[in-house]
Amino acid sequence: MVGEVAGAVDGTALPADARVVDEFRDGRAGTVVVAAVTDDASAGAAVLAAVRGSLLVLDASSLSAEAIDRLCDDLRRLGAVDRRDGRPRPAPSADAVVDDDGIAVLRRLAQGQHLGEAAAALHLSRRTADRRLAAAKDALGAASTVEAIVIAKERGLLA
C-alpha cells in the first residue's frame, strides 16, 4: 500500500518506516493517513491527525468547495498542502496577461493572507477577488493557487 500512497503523492518521499493507516484515530508521527473526508467531523479528525504529526492523503471530493477551502486553510497552518482536484492542468493562454489586480491578489496570497483578507485589503469584494485569481490562474496556466504563485514568482511578477 505504501507504493500506492507514494504514487498518490508523487514527488514527495515517504519515510522508509512510514506506517499507512486508513483511520484518523490511528494518526500520529510516522503514519500516513489515507482517508476520505466526508463531513465537518472527519475534517476535524484530519486536522487533529496532522497536529499529531501524521502525513495526510485525503479525498475530500464529497465536500463543498467552501468546506475544502476551510480544511486546506486549517492544514496550511500546520505545514505545506499539495491540493489537487483531479482536473487536467490547463494550458497557459498564449496571449493572456495577468492584470495588475490579479498580481495584487497573488502577491497578498503569497504573503499568507486568505482570499477574503486579500480582497478586503485591496478594497475588492470576495467574489471579485476570486474572479481576479481565476483569471490569473488561467493566464499563468496554473491548476491551483499555489501553482499560480510559484509561476508568478518564477516570472518575477511578485517582486
Q: What is the distance between the alpha carbons of residues 87 and 73, in angstroms, rounded to a whole number? A: 21
pTM for the structure as a whole: 0.49
Report pLDDT digits (tens) over 29-72.
Answer: 778 888 889 999 999 999 999 898 888 888 888 888 888 888 98
Q: Residue 149: which of 115, 107, 87 has the closest Cα? A: 107
Cβ count within 10 A of residue 144: 17
What is residue 111's DSSP assignment? T
pLDDT exceeds 80 at position 104: yes
pLDDT exceeds 50 at position 75: yes
Please report the pLDDT score of residue 16 as a whole number: 58
Tell the residue number behind the cell numbers 518521499, with chain if given: 13
- Residue that wins the pLDDT comparison between 30 and 9: 30
Q: Which three cell numbers stand for residue 134?
A: 481565476
Please say whether the dihedral angle defined by the alpha carbons of residues 45, 51, 53 and 57, taken in this order, is positive or negative.
positive
Cα maximum dimension of the chain:
50
